Structure 1
């Protein structure tokens, strides 16, 4: 009993040390599990993925399980920092390291790459050659735009011209689409797509956001697709600074950005006199856009709103009361912009609070030069449409006179 109490005390002290106080795989705080074969402290979620590698990793609870003195001594010698120096020695700059709230497939493939395949120990250059190759090609199941069924399509990511192409048939030489890597984003969406390895690929096309919904039964393939995309975008973003020998790792988190908030709300039209309609909304922090679609799996958004900063006249607040224009929900949000006032309705009060918090997070952040450029482009597009609509209206009036 004395040894048991002593060992538990040592483990609890070890897990509070810098490096050990965060999960070795996703950086979640206060990990309470440990792999006694690898010598790392991990969170509950990551411990479940370690159990899927029984020949590599064996885990115990540091609070509930019995620990032999020899295992405790090994944990004292190893720990997260020592293990990181071994298993993350050669992680490529573009490689996305998952965080606490990332999806299972991303964390699972990171753990398998680190411990099972030992891709980053420097023992084998095969994996580095794969990651630094000029192209990545694989079939993926893509949701059809018309029939809404998932069909097998061949995807090709190219570092030579920084594009993503996909082909309808395996032997096709002419791609169905060629997408520039510059503004492309990939976001894991297992629940939305209905597959554990579901991926949403978004990009700009004709002033709209276009979505591709894909998956692959092999998690390694879908994770490799995202990682190769990160590699290409890291290089593409660094080209202007290469003469300074600047290769900043700070660019990487911006390449694959998860939506700040998604979900259904009801919205009214520009005059706020129209009836409310249910729409699926996506709020993105990186480009400060609120997109709305008819349903989560629509290929193209119906419209969007740019969310600027508080100093530029943007604000958000709660409003309550049952809608008088056909809306079923009563938890309202009032979004004020310099050009328009938006009214949204949520089904639950908790959703209202989450949306307001997400809006405030963007509004509280100052705009970047890229944000100003987006605003200028949006104004130009709006002015272009206004001039052409006025010209068409005037022409029609003159013609019908």
Structure 2
């Protein structure tokens, strides 16, 4: 009895016990459906969200002060050299020189604990103050829902105008009241609201973008009476393939502006901005772990159920095993027959589970937003690999038991 005959015999056994095979296969199918379905849904939703926000941060890099937290870092008891923060003059000089190669914004997050007033109403002292230019909202991927962006003259002369977040509007205005061209007060000056940003939300308890007030950069510079504001630069490129080259060029430009000597290390930092895709991939990774864990638990129950069915099958076919052994079948061939039968059942259930999983996963993903049909080839191969593994593990003990049966006692079994 060779391997091919074992495969044929396993298929005949599956066919002759069709109802039992279907019920057992459904146990496996449910586990694979949960595994493939969740992983497909996660990948589908991630792809749709990335497509919706394509380009936000994907082509950006930041130029910022080195050791910007102000702390002196020590290594082996030796204090490392600290550098002065990027000044307003240096930031604007970089913007003027580099703007021919890409879109550049200069901004300053100069306060995270400001109180905004409008008449008798005021916000909590947790509003975030930002000085920015006309490119700030475009590069940071922030949409202005109402009103408009800063004009060139407002940026140039530093007019008392501002763009505010949704929480600022909710705190200072009645529901349905139009905030555009209304006045608010902070730092002892009155500002006119010219725009309201789209609601962003915040994953942290700190000041999120909805609590931000953005004013013209020149206006913010005038508030910097002690010269303590820190300025940062973000550049956006049209071709992400040239990112490393452009970062190298920007390093040369900034070293010239900062007058860093040849051989000295950079007195600033240039880092690639974290893209939305990287953030999503990090979150999706945790979701995949959770989905895989749930699917594994379901498959563990399915494997135990399959092992129980195979044990019953061995008991029912004890006489048949005795006949095969009497005709010369070795213990190896007997083990192969039952292992192949278990694997066939798992593969049939796995095929059904993959089809259901792809369908359910795509339906769930498309509930987030319209998108294409995703076929997760990686998870399909993983699912079939798991099916073979489950078949081997759950079929091994019953197959081993069958191979150890005594042929004389088996032939006498009723």
Structure richer in strand, relative to its length: 1
Structure richer in helix, relative to its length: 2
TM-score normalized with structure 2 length = 0.21
Q: Larger relative contact order (C-alpha < 8 A, sep ≥ 6)?
A: 2
TM-score normalized with structure 1 length = 0.22
